Structure 1
């Protein structure tokens, strides 16, 4: 797959006359338009099947009955934004109107105005044209945010420092989601759900909170929730609108669709993520399949965090981070990759050794040694602030990144912790649990495990390696040459690829070799996740039951 720059067609490129979102909304049938956008969202991969199929869709399906002048304006924009070779081949793959984020943003805007115009009758041709204009205005909105990044970080003599930040902040100007890789969302969501239920089953102190949560949705418990969410998602895969004859599904569907008073200010689509369904009479419109899929695990987690903070005032959030993510889930996710191969120690196993002052020794969350290859894992359930991403304050965003993944005052975080683990191993401080014979031949693979998909955005791995290299340069050459670059791995990748990436050292080396040698300036900045998905393991069958037997064992879904 070749990564390429996409030119997004905006309102200003098509129309000379100015208009505003509010003006267009007065002449749009909201429900009808929401259904159109839901269909576009679901089938975007088909719309982009061929290099000219998006233009064909817009001309012959979206505005099929509009006048020829409008169609000429749209077509002219496509031709103006590609080179002569592409025109001859009718290759418009580098020019887009339709994109997943703009679709979701339009849905969000329409939802806010749902009640104010629900009884209006709008001519179908006028409605579709105004919806297209709204879509183009949203592309303007996205473009204006990206212009802020270009003005700050781009110049003709782009140095590496600015290039990293150019790509990173460009990635933050929109939410990177996709319905095209459904299975890669589906597998980890289910597996995390299974482990989450197991962990909560062992922690009786949260039983009342969880029980009340399920009752608020009209459900009897975990089994009932899983079955209904599974059935809803299964139906949503094949249909953009769903309904169930069994009325017991209605309370959960209502929970996923009822909305509090919202506004349509830029907010990273949080309202839509929380409620990805819209009830229309007796049917439920699926606004976004991935957001619905997230109800298996991510939705429960965020809901329980909110309940624990607002109602129960307990330590659920803290224990979720330290005991579930950094221990329970991390251990079982790594086991899906390595099973019992190599020498392995989780932090809690290391702490079981009875040695003096063990609490004063900084330890990795997970430690693996295969011969002279050492994999040192640090796991972080840290998320970047929605407000900072929304405001696009470059200085505040990087300050937050440093505080969460580099250092806060004198406190070491992620990058510095990994350096510290390497030094501890190299100086023999870990010999009480793993006595290496030849310390001076050890090769180190520092790995940061994350849960925030933002860290899979383009540029993040390069930025953290910029910090990492600052620390590396303080070390002696003999040690420095045995340390490989830091690699960010999302925990979902461990669950998705499991034993496929058992030879993790090879995948890591190939990834960094690829980003160092590619001539494509976008691919230089891609994440490890995107490298696996689009290059190294593209189209590979993911699920291997043997790798996840330990997760399925005693799970709620097998009862």
Structure 2
């Protein structure tokens, strides 16, 4: 990709760029570093900046060496800024590898690897099934589908899945055919609005958004009347579940019932995510055999036995479910202490010192070692047990 990009430059410029790059690469490799030319987060930052300063200049039939050089320089500046932010947050030393990894991965983990579309499909189906079977929420599902000009939730699921699996997941673009024109309203609702000159005058320029909310809400750009381009694969896949939850809240009148989106997520976490996703799928991982004991966390409210207890023969599996969100300010803080404290607050102990996640598991393990739970006295049955924990 890099070589193809600079092919528009003259021979001298190409030679200088390649020579300088190789020197830079060799110098860093001697120090044990690895050079990555294109990262998702740096390209997203560049796209965000381009959209921020978008203009109405018409499309050119071909890009000149001058235009390509301007794009190349913008990319270099963008990468340099990102690298400087990371380096200024923590100077690499042999003893702080964990610190560097946490700082860099907290801000980039969502963009580094492709999301598993199959798990998102399962989550999406569970969510739609939950809405269909809930008397209070079903009217909002009808309202949401009407907004998208769809007759059923299966049309929503099938549209996103087919587009992704039939080519857009490998490339970036797709085109609607005459047979699926009814999906135009759906994909248009995912399309990034390009402001005209008057709108840009009314709306002052803002600093770059480190969480790329505009691309999360609108992961598509419309190329022509029936063709679309995916800005980031993960943001498109998110429309199956994570982005779906946000759209469902914002685009229906259900938002009037809750203080804000986090309040809506909190209800879903306890009433839907834990019971309809977590319980269902964990239970499905283990067979229906006489030597398998499966106990969801809500079966014995007076016994703290984690969110799901499973014994398969001599193996005990303890599952702790945490539907936790980490704010953009924390993820993008580039500060080790800030990120570490938030992780501990979500998964170890909260602000009031109440045990969460890991500490809950430790307590259950200690209780289990001293005495089995009443619902599964494996000692009385003459069995040993080996504990596996999952959080």
The bucket for the TM-score relative to the shorter chain is 0.7 to 0.9
1:294 pairs with one of 225, 233, 238: 238
Deviating more after overlay: 406-415 vs 119-128: 119-128
3-state SS of paired residue (1:265): coil
| Cα distance in structure 1, aligned partners of 2:89 and 2:286 | 41
**1:419–1:237: structure 2 CA closer, same or farther, 3 Å change rule?**
closer
User: Is it true that 1:335 corresponds to 2:274 in the alignment?
Assistant: no
In structure 2, relative to structure 1, the CA distance for the partners of 1:401 and 1:415 (3 Å cut) is same
| C-alpha contact (below 8 Å) 1:258/1:275 kept by paired residues | yes
TM, length-normalised to structure 1:
0.60
Task: Determine if contact 2:102/2:336 at 8 Å carries over to the other structure.
Answer: no
Please say if 1:319 is aligned against 2:267.
yes
**Given the alignment of the two structures, is residue 73 of structure 1 paired with residue 20 of structure 2, yes or no?**
no
The 2-side partners of 1:145 and 1:440 are apart by 55
CA contact (8 A) 2:306 2:319 kept: yes
CA contact (8 A) 1:308 1:317 kept: no
**C-alpha distance in structure 2 between counterparts of 1:222 and 1:436, whole Å:** 45
Matched with 1:35 is none
2:174 to 242, 245, 254: 242
Is residue 252 of structure 1 aligned with residue 195 of structure 2?
no
Moved more, 374-383 or 294-303: 294-303
Deviation (angstroms), 1:316: 4.1
Distance 1:272 1:424, change over 3 A: same
Q: Distance in 1 between matches of 2:344 and 2:172?
A: 42
Structure 2 distance, partners of 1:106, 1:187, is 30
Equivalents in 2 of 1:302, 1:402: separation in Å? Answer: 26
For residues 187 and 263 of structure 1, the distance between their equivalents in structure 2, rounded to whole angstroms, comes to 36
Partner of 1:545: none
Counterparts of 1:19-418 in structure 2, within 5 Å, are 57-59=1-3, 61-83=4-26, 94-114=34-54, 116-119=55-58, 124-151=64-91, 154-156=92-94, 158=95, 162-178=96-112, 181=114, 185-233=116-164, 234-237=166-169, 240-244=172-176, 245=178, 246-259=180-193, 263=206, 265-282=208-225, 283-306=227-250, 310-313=255-258, 316-340=264-288, 342-348=292-298, 350-351=299-300, 358-359=301-302, 361-408=303-350, 409-418=352-361
Shift of 1:375: 1.3
Q: 1:295 to 1:201 in 2, by over 3 A?
A: same
Number of equivalent positions:
366
CA distance in 2, matches of 1:263, 1:251: 29
User: Normalising by structure 2, what TM-score?
Assistant: 0.83
- Looking at structure 2, the residues matched to 170 and 316 of structure 1 have their Cα atoms a distance apart, in angstroms, of 30
Tell me by how many angstroms 1:83 deviates: 4.5
Query: What are structure 1's unaligned runs of at least 5 residues?
Result: 1-56, 88-92, 352-357, 449-559
Distance 1:381 1:137 in 2: 37
- Distance across 2 between alignment mates of 1:328 and 1:134: 47
Task: Give, in whole Å, the separation in 2 of the partners of 1:431 and 1:174.
Answer: 42
**Secondary structure of the residue that 2:9 maps to in structure 1?**
coil
* Structure 1 residue 264: Cα displacement: 5.2
C-alpha distance in 1, partners of 2:34/2:341? 34
SS where residue 285 of structure 1 aligns? strand
Contact kept? 2:89, 2:335, Cα under 8 Å:
no
Distance (Å, rounded) in 2 between the aligned partners of 1:109 and 1:338: 49
Conserved? CA contact 1:209–1:312, under 8 Å: no
RMSD: 3.0
Is the contact made by 1:366 and 1:376 (CA closer than 8 Å) also made in structure 2? yes
Question: 2-side partners of 1:167 and 1:267: how far apart?
Answer: 18
Q: Residues of 2 paired with 1:238 and 1:423: CA distance?
A: 48
Unaligned runs of 5+ in 2: 196-202
Residues 158-200 of structure 1: CA distance to partner in whole angstroms, max 9, x if unpaired?
Answer: 1xxx432232112124344256x5xx61211111112222222
Aligned-partner Cα distance in 2 for 1:186–1:269: 21
- Taking the aligned partners of 1:222 and 1:216, their CA distance within structure 2 comes to 12
Equivalent residue number for residue 454 of structure 1: none
Structure 1 residues 391 and 150: CA distance shift in structure 2, 3 A: closer
**CA-CA distance at 1:106 after TM superposition:** 1.8
